[in-house]
Amino acid sequence: MDAADMISGAGGLICDSVRTGLYVDVYLQTVGDEMALQILGVCAQTLPAEFDFGADWPDAIVVTAALQAQHQGVRNLVMDAARARRSELALWGGTRPTNFEASTEIEHRLSTAAQAFKRHAMKAVGAASEMTFTESFHVGKNRTAGPVSPLLAR
């Protein structure tokens, strides 16, 4: 997954999350396109082989279904979060993975600001700037209480 994939699939959610004051970590297989990420208000880190949060688990994990299918560390992260009911999970793109139980599809309605920032970020990575007003996610509710802080693969 690169910045263009992330921006087209979840750029609006990321922008809206940052604008509401949430802390968002972005992990990419190929780090680059810093300007596009800065437009959304985030910086990227290289995707690690494995994630180790210790006791400091994120409130939410948002990841592309393709990356969850191909990267063992991301797959382990999603399975660990689901098993321990530590984080809310959301996947975008593709079909619902078979190991993603009790999920439903939801749409995040982008704020007007997120639409504008996402459009500029997509232009910055050279992607088509066709805009939709929503982003679709397969969501599995795993936590029973507490605030949600959407994070991308952290």
Residue 48: Cβ within 10 Å count: 13
Give domain status of residue 149, yes or no.
no
Residue 124 lies in a domain: yes
Determine the structural domain holding residue 24 and report its residue range.
Answer: 3-140
Q: Quote the pLDDT of residue 105.
A: 85
**Total domains, the chain:** 1
What is the CATH number for 131?
A: 3.40.50.10320
Q: Tell me if 97 is assigned to some domain.
A: yes
Distance CA 125, CA 120 (A): 9
Q: What's the confidence (pLDDT) of residue 96?
A: 65
- State the CB neighbour count (10 A cutoff) for residue 109: 12
pLDDT digit string (tens) for the chain, length 154 residues: 789 999 999 999 999 999 999 889 999 998 888 999 999 999 999 999 999 888 888 888 899 988 988 999 999 988 888 777 778 888 898 766 665 665 688 899 999 999 999 999 999 999 886 788 999 998 875 544 344 445 444 3
Give the model confidence (pLDDT) of 63-79 as tens digits. 998 898 899 999 998 88
3-state secondary structure of 142: coil
d(CA 85, CA 143): 5
pLDDT (0 to 100) of residue 102: 58
88 belongs to a structural domain: yes
Q: Which has the closest alpha carbon to 93: 129, 68, 57, 128?
A: 68
Does 58 map to a domain? Answer: yes
| Three-state DSSP class for residue 129 | coil
Q: What is the DSSP letter of 154?
A: -
Please report whether residue 145 resides in a domain: no
Query: How far is it, in rounded angstroms, from Cα 87 to Cα 141?
Result: 8
pLDDT in tens, 27-43: 999 888 899 999 999 99
Q: 82 CB contacts (<8 Å, ≥6 apart)?
A: 89, 99, 100, 101, 140, 142
pTM for the whole structure: 0.83
Q: Is residue 77 part of a domain?
A: yes
pLDDT reported for residue 103: 67
Does residue 150 lie in a domain region?
Answer: no
